[in-house]
């Protein structure tokens, strides 16, 4: 019997959609479409658990897709652009060995040092910057 090799490319959203959170659609760089791949700890944004979704929930969903019939080998890679590049970097850095490859195209790799990161992290994670460090690739990589 001949072995068949294939790849599956999954492109998850960057945030939940249509949650009815006040302000979620007010800005292009925060809220809907801009979840920054963090697990939000601030009560208002607590449904934004995108890190958990990408690293834990989504792989389980993929494994159970009928067409794949459980044939995935468990070899996963992760990639992204801009905020998605940030997500790819932190997912790989926080989970050594989980991904056989991680790549980022024009990533926001030091979000604690830019206005986008300040805006998102302060709203999703609060004012405690030690929580922010858990999602900053430059900190996770040891700067």
Q: Please state the domain extents for the chain.
A: 43-64+79-140
pLDDT (tens digit per residue) in 120-143: 999 999 999 999 999 999 999 996
Confidence class for position 8, pLDDT limits 50, 70, 90 = confident
35 vs 68: CA distance, rounded Å: 29
Residue burial 52-70, b: 16+ Cβ < 10 Å; e: rest: ebbbeeebeeeeeeeeeee
The pairing of strands 99-105 and 76-81 is parallel
pLDDT (tens digit per residue) in 56-109: 999 888 877 766 666 666 678 999 999 999 999 999 999 999 999 999 999 999
pLDDT for residue 127: 97
Q: Model pTM greater than 0.85?
A: yes
Q: Please provide residue 36's backbone torsions phi and psi, each rounded to the nearest 5 degrees.
A: 60, 15
pLDDT for residue 3: 72
């Amino acid at each position: 019997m001949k072995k068949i090799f294939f790849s599956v490319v999954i492109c998850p959203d960057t945030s939940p959609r249509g949650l009815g959170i006040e302000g979620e659609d007010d800005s292009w760089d925060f809220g809907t479409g801009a979840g920054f791949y963090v697990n939000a700890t601030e009560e208002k944004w607590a449904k934004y658990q995108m890190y958990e979704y990408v690293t834990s929930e989504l792989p389980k969903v993929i494994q159970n897709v009928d067409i794949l019939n459980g044939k995935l080998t468990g070899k996963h890679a992760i990639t992204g652009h801009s905020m998605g590049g940030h997500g790819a970097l932190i997912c790989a850095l926080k989970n050594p060995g989980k991904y056989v490859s991680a790549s980022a195209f024009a990533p926001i790799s030091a979000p604690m040092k830019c206005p986008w990161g300040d805006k998102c992290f302060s709203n999703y994670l609060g004012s405690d910057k030690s929580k922010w460090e858990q999602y900053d690739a430059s900190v996770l990589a040891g700067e």
